[in-house]
Amino acid sequence: GSVSAAVLRAAPCRAVVVIKAPWDPADTRLHEPAEARPPPPAPAPKKVGVAVDESPSSRAALEWALAHILGPHDHLHVLCVAPSVPFPVLDEPGAAAAMETREAEAASAEAARWASRVSEEAAEEAVKRGVTRTKLCSVMLTPSNGGASDIGSAIASYATDKKLDVVVVGSRGMGALHSSLMSLVGLGSVSDYLAHNLNCTLAVVRDTGAADAAAQALQGGGSSLDAGGQNIPFQVIAESDVEGDKE
């Protein structure tokens, strides 16, 4: 399996996956005494992307990026992926099909407006925290579908196109169980996808509040987890019950 994916799921803290080393391992100057090395050049401004929605985890990601990643000369890209709206299968009479198509187009336009609003509101928050408008852009991205791979693909494609140095995303921090339950409804994990497909450094900021809620649900013996607006009921099965079934 993937060590980075396992750490992203299970680590009780923020996790950073470094895709590229910030230095050249073949550079012989790394092996010279510190006093013999020339002074390092001033670091080039970074391009930092932060994926946002209206969740507490994405707000935590933005706050952490502003506090710990973004420097005074760096550029911030605030990204929001619009929810995907499936278009109808046009196997109905012409009038009904045309109506469904118009409804789907209207829903897609509304999703795009939502994503634009969310990214702009996050950008305004960054401005309040001292980021200048000349070093800031808010971007609405459109996935081909609504699964984690398509959301992650939209973010990864933008990161490649704009040559981002770091991408910061939020995580609810519910571990392997939550990821498995999300996969049942086709949502999966965006951070898992990015860990395997992003070509720059990835920082995942955990939302400990959601993780605590999941832990409490598990300790209570069964409840439901919210997966993108869908409540997934589950029941914790004791090991003794499993052994009894085997007998």
Spell out the domain ranges in the chain.
Answer: 3-20+44-246
Q: pLDDT tier at 217 (50, 70, 90 boundaries)?
A: very low
Q: Which residue has the higher pLDDT, 67 or 243?
A: 67
Query: Residue 172: what pLDDT?
Result: 65
Query: Residue 229: what pLDDT?
Result: 37
Task: Give yes or no for residue 115 having a pLDDT over 70.
Answer: yes
CB 205 within 8 A of CB 61: yes
CATH architecture of 3-20+44-246: 3-Layer(aba) Sandwich (3.40)
Query: Residue 102: what pLDDT?
Result: 78
Query: Residue 135: what pLDDT?
Result: 94
Query: Residue 138: what pLDDT?
Result: 94
Pairing state of beta strands 201-206 and 166-171?
Answer: parallel
Query: Residue 187: what pLDDT?
Result: 45
Q: Which residue has the tokens 């996050």?
A: 122
Residues in Cβ contact with 183 at an 8 Å cutoff, skipping those fewer than 6 apart:
none
By residue count, the chain amounts to 247
User: What pTM value is reported for the model?
Assistant: 0.68
CB 224 within 8 A of CB 213: no
CA distance 153 to 85: 17
Predicted confidence (pLDDT) per residue in 119-147, tens digit: 999 999 999 999 999 999 999 998 876 55
Pairing state of beta strands 166-171 and 47-51?
Answer: parallel
Query: Residue 215: what pLDDT?
Result: 42
Q: pLDDT tier at 66 (50, 70, 90 boundaries)?
A: very high
